[in-house]
């Protein structure tokens, strides 16, 4: 059995954004919508990993491998100019929302870890690669995405 899907991008090798996000299926569509609608990127390289980029904070080899792929593929082959670090609410890498005493504590932890990850990556990634940070949090109407400045 085969299935043909139209694809107009096969001859392109340029995209402006790379994203590292969690593999969690619950956030796939809303993350895509945030990236496309709010940030304005319909083309991006995607790095999906359990716990998002939280592994960058650990000294376990993930950071080195991730940086090598971002530079060799996204930056050098696809011309990526920006890297989005995208965390999400209720992340299993943090033990889920139940592991925090409040929504505010969860949010503060995500912000703190995003800033630490950016600081770590900025030391090793090319200077002309801008790092953007964002996370999602529960909202009565779905998910709210916050860009960390």
Nearest to 148 by CA among 66, 90, 84: 84
DSSP, res 94: G
- For residue 77, being part of any structural domain is answered with yes
Mean pLDDT of the chain: 92
Nearest to 86 by CA among 40, 58, 53, 38: 53
- For residue 130, being part of any structural domain is answered with yes
Nearest to 89 by CA among 128, 32, 31, 43: 31
The helix (H) or strand (E) run that includes residue 144 is strand 142-148
- Compute the distance between CA of residue 130 and CA of residue 137 in angstroms, rounded to an integer: 24
- For residue 7, being part of any structural domain is answered with no
pLDDT for the residue 59: 74
pLDDT for the residue 5: 85
Distance in angstroms between the alpha carbons of the first and the last residue of the chain: 48
pLDDT beyond 80 at 135: yes
Report the SS3 class of residue 105: helix
pLDDT interval class at 116 (50, 70, 90)? very high
- For residue 5, being part of any structural domain is answered with no
CA gyration radius for the chain?
16
Q: Give me the number of domains the chain comprises.
A: 1
pLDDT for the residue 75: 94
pTM for the full model?
0.92
pLDDT beyond 80 at 113: yes
pLDDT for the residue 78: 95
pLDDT beyond 80 at 133: yes
- Compute the distance between CA of residue 51 and CA of residue 96 in angstroms, rounded to an integer: 10
The helix (H) or strand (E) run that includes residue 50 is none
Which range marks the domain in which residue 96 is found? 17-148
pLDDT for the residue 96: 93
pLDDT beyond 90 at 29: yes
Taking only the tens place, the pLDDT of each residue in 57-107 is: 987 888 889 999 999 999 999 999 999 999 999 999 899 999 999 999 999
Residue 32: which CATH number? 3.40.1050.10
- For residue 67, being part of any structural domain is answered with yes
């Amino acid at each position: 059995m085969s299935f043909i899907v139209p694809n107009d991008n096969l001859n392109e090798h340029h995209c402006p954004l790379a994203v590292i996000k969690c593999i969690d299926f619950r956030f796939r569509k809303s993350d895509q919508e945030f990236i496309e609608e709010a940030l304005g990127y319909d083309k991006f390289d995607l790095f999906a990993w359990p716990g998002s980029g939280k592994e960058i904070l650990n000294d376990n080899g993930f950071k080195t491998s991730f940086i090598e792929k971002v530079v060799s593929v996204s930056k050098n082959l696809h011309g990526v100019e920006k890297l989005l670090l995208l965390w999400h609410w209720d992340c299993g890498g943090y033990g889920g929302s139940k592991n925090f005493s409040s929504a505010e504590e969860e949010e503060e932890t995500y912000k703190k870890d995003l800033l630490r990850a950016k600081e770590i990556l900025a030391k090793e990634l090319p200077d002309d690669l801008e790092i953007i940070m964002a996370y999602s949090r529960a909202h009565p109407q779905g998910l709210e995405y916050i860009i960390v400045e």
